[in-house]
Amino acid sequence: MLAGKHIILGITGGIAAYKSATLIRLLVKKGAEVQVVITPSGKEFITPVTLSTLSGKPVISEFFTANTGEWHSHVDLGLWADAMVVAPATACTIGKMAHGIADNMLVTTYLSAKAPVFVAPAMDLDMMAHPSTTANLALLRSYGNIIIEPAAGELASHLIGKGRMEEPERIVEILEQFFSRRQPLAGKKMLITAGPTYERIDPVRFIGNFSTGKMGYALADAAAELGADVTVVSGPVSVTPRNASVKVVSVESARQMLEACEKVWPDSDIAVMCAAVADYAPLHPADSKIKREGHDIPTIELTKNPDIAATLGVGKRPDQTLVGFALETDNEEFNAQSKLKSKNLDMIVLNSLRNPQAGFATDTNQVTIFKADGTRADFPVKPKTELAFDIINTMID
Ligand code: PMT
C-alpha cells in the first residue's frame, strides 16, 4: 500500500524525535519516498545527517539553503505529497498548525499540503491534558487532519501518563490502513448536496436555515479520499473542500439545486443528499426591497419547493445508489424510516436536533443509519470528518 507513495515526514523538537529514524526506515522499507521537513528545534534532538542518510534525500529545514540561496518551495512539496505525517508533533507545532502561524518550513508546508495530514502528538502529560492542547487538536480534527492519539506510559519526565508518541510500527500500520481504504470508490462518480438553500423574499432577504455545509463537505472530502470522482452541488456556505479533486457547483435556491442535480445524476453512481433544502419558497419574491415604513406588515405567500431527493429517487436506475439524510426533532426513527421509503432511498442517515452535539453547524455529529435492506447502524458522537468515513463505509458495506 505504501509502495511509491510520497510521504512528507515533519519532525519537531521533542525527545520522541529519536523514533523518527525508525519511522523513516520502516516507510522506506515499504517502498515509500520520504521527504523530511524538520523544525529548527527538531535538529536539537536528531541530526539531519541521520535523517538524510535513512531517507536518501536532503533534509529540509530552512526556507533557503544558506550557501546557494536555493529556495525550498513549500507549495511544490505540498503538491508532491500523498500524505504528510507530523511525528513527533509538539504542543508548540500543533498550536502553530491550528492557527496558521507559518514561521517555519514545516508549518508552511502543512498549510500548502493538499494531501491528508497525520499528526502524532508527543509531550508531557500535563501539556497533553491542557485545554489549549485539547482545543488545538480539536481544531486540527475539524480541518480533516487525522490525530494519531499518543499512548499512556512513562514519559521523558519520568511521569506516567498520556503523551508518548505512538510507536513507528503503529504509525506505518495506520498509513497502510488509510491507503488501503482509498480503493473502494475508485471509478465511481458521486453527487453530494451540501449546505442550505436560500429562497428569496426580496433582493435583501431570504428564507434559509442554519446548515453550514460542514457535514456535506466532510462527506465530499472522504469520498474523494476513497477514490470517488465527486461533485458537490452546494448552497451558500463559507466552507470549501480540502481535497483539490472535488468539484463544486454553487447554487442558491432549491430549484437551482434540483436543476444542477438533474444534470449530474444521470451520470452518477451514487448521490448523497446532505443539503438542508428549504421546503417552501416565497411564491412572488419582490423585485425591490420591501420597505418597513408606511406599509402594513407583509404576508409572504409560500409555495412548495420540489423534493430533490424524491425526484432523483423516481428516476433511480438499479445500478445507482441514493442516500438521504433525515434531520428530525420528534419521532426521529419513524420519520427517518418513512423518508427512506417515500423517497426511494437505499439508505438514510438520521441526525437529531435533540442532541446539541449533532446537526447544524457543529463540528461533530451523531447518527443512526437505516438501510433499505432493514439493517441499522448506530454511531457515537464523532467529528463530522470521521463520521463521513463511517457513513460511506456503511453505504458500501
Ligand atoms: O451543514 P451542517 O451545518 O454540517 O449540518 C448538517 C445537516 C444537519 C444539514 C445534515 O446532517 C442533514 O441532516 N441534512 C439534511 C437536512 C434535511 O433537510 O433533512 P430533511 O429531513 O428535511 O430532508 C430529508 C432528505 O430529503 C434530505 O436528504 C434532504 O436533503 C432531502 N430534501 C429535503 C427537502 C427537499 N425539498 N428536497 C430534498 O432533497
Q: By alpha-carbon position, which residue is closest to atom 17 of ligand 1?
A: 276
* Nearest atom, ligand 1, residue 254 CA: 36
Average pLDDT over residues 24-40: 97
Q: What is the predicted pLDDT for the residue at 156? A: 76
Chain mean pLDDT for the chain: 93
Task: Name the least confident of 113-117, 151-155, 250-254.
Answer: 151-155
Q: How confident is the model at residue 296 (pLDDT cuts 50, 70, 90)?
A: confident
Cell numbers representing residue 144 in the block: 480533516
Q: What is the predicted pLDDT for the residue at 372? A: 97
Between the CA of 211 and the centroid of ligand 1 the distance, in Å, is: 9
262 within ligand 1 shell (Cβ under 6 A): no
* Nearest atom, ligand 1, residue 310 CA: 39
Q: How far apart are CA 77 and CA 53, in angstroms?
A: 20
| List of residues 6+ apart from 167 with CB closer than 8 A | 19, 151
264 within ligand 1 shell (Cβ under 6 A): no
Q: By alpha-carbon position, which residue is closest to atom 5 of ligand 1?
A: 360
pLDDT(169) > 80:
yes
Q: Which residues are catalytic?
A: 209
Phi, psi values for residue 267, rounded to 5°: -100, 10
Other beta carbons less than 10 A from residue 80's beta carbon: 17
Asked whether 328 and 352 are in contact (CB, 8 A), the reply is yes
pLDDT(85) > 90:
yes
pLDDT in tens, 342-394: 999 999 999 988 899 999 999 999 999 999 999 999 999 999 998 999 999 99
Q: How far apart are CA 166 and CA 58, in angstroms?
A: 25
Longest Cα pair distance anywhere in the chain, in angstroms?
80
Where are any strands of DSSP class E within 140-198?
A: 146-147, 151-154, 160-164, 189-194
What is the percentage of the chain residues whose pLDDT exceeds 90? 77
Prediction pTM value = 0.67
Q: What is the predicted pLDDT for the residue at 241? A: 87
Q: What is the predicted pLDDT for the residue at 67? A: 64
Q: How far apart are CA 161 and CA 146, in angstroms?
A: 22
308 within ligand 1 shell (Cβ under 6 A): yes
> Alpha helices of the chain — where are they, by DSSP H?
18-29, 48-55, 74-80, 91-99, 105-112, 125-129, 131-142, 168-180, 214-225, 254-264, 308-314, 332-342, 384-396
Q: How far apart are CA 156 and CA 296, in angstroms?
A: 73
Which of 9-23, 63-77, 284-298: highest mean pLDDT? 9-23
Q: How far apart are CA 251 and CA 258, in angstroms?
A: 9
391 within ligand 1 shell (Cβ under 6 A): no
> Alpha helices of 121-195 — where are they, by DSSP H?
125-129, 131-142, 168-180
Q: How far apart are CA 37 and CA 281, in angstroms?
A: 53
